[in-house]
Amino acid sequence: MPKIFLKGHDMKVNLDLRKVLFFLSLCVMLICSASAQTNYSIRDRLFFGGSFGLMIGTYTDIELSPHVGYYITPRWAAGIGVIYEYYNYRDHWIIDVLDPTTGMVMRKSERVETHIFGGRLFTNYVIVNNVSDWVPIGTNFRIFAHVEYETLSYEKRFFDYGATGRKLQHSFLVGGGLRFPTGKRSSMNLTILWNLNSNMNNVYGGGPIIRIGYNF
């Protein structure tokens, strides 16, 4: 049985790697093709940015996610990013323990403090370049579609009480968002994504993933 499990696991990893390599190869070919057809320099096409998340209260959750991207066309971009998240919650696990002095079952909480990190490959396309051209609302923002492959490393005890070691989570995220220009090259972005690989033991849970970020 252990051998069969390992073979299945290796096959899944190989399939994931093939998808990533295909995505990278396609992006490289498109970038080279687009660059050859226009006079824009690489610096004109490069952009930087990321998102920052902070939750302090009943639990602490801090997330940093910088990225660098490349405009294949004025509307189509692709890029790569890194992810770091610090999580600390004193009531992450609520467990029942037997009090040896009284023989009664007592309920207590146990803290989980952990670091989650990984990387992502993404591409997005502006479907509507200026919403005001369609609806006269007096403000300019763009609507884009977004696709992303992401891998995260987290401690197994995050989902499995008493477990040790770390585990990789592979996710394919799809969705879209709104882009609000703040300058010639800069913009604020609101992105809503859904995880196609969602399950019970998933960092994101089953709901939508909401990000607020910035590009420049």
CA distances from 169 to 48, 72, 151 (A): 25, 29, 5
Task: Note the pLDDT of residue 211.
Answer: 94
Q: Tell me the whole-structure pTM to 2 decimals.
A: 0.77
With CA atoms as reference, report the closest residue to 71 among 39, 49, 43, 50: 43
More confident residue, 37 or 60: 60
Task: Note the pLDDT of residue 204.
Answer: 82
Q: Which two tokens stand for residue 175?
A: 């969705």
pLDDT tens digits along 153-192 = 999 999 999 899 999 999 999 999 999 999 988 999 999 9
pLDDT tens digits along 63-88 = 999 999 999 999 999 999 999 999 99
**Residue ranges per structural domain of the chain:** 42-215
> For every residue of the chain, which 3-state class applies, written as one string?
CHHHHHHHHHHHHHHHHHHHHHHHHHHHHHHHHHHHHCCCCHHHHEEEEEEEEEECCCCEEEEEEEEEEEECCCCEEEEEEEEEEEEEEEEEEEEEEECCCCCCEEEEEEEEEEEEEEEEEEEEEEEECCHHHCCCCCCCCEEEEEEEEEEEEEEHHHCCCCCCCEEEEEEEEEEEEEEEECCCCCEEEEEEEEECCCCCCCCCCCCCEEEEEEEC
What's the rounded Cα separation, in Å, for the pair 58 and 4?
43
Q: Which CATH number fits domain 42-215: 3.40.630.40, 2.40.160.20, 2.40.10.10, 3.30.930.10?
A: 2.40.160.20
Task: Note the pLDDT of residue 12.
Answer: 45
Whole-number mean pLDDT of the chain? Answer: 84
pLDDT tens digits along 127-155 = 999 998 888 877 889 999 999 999 999 99
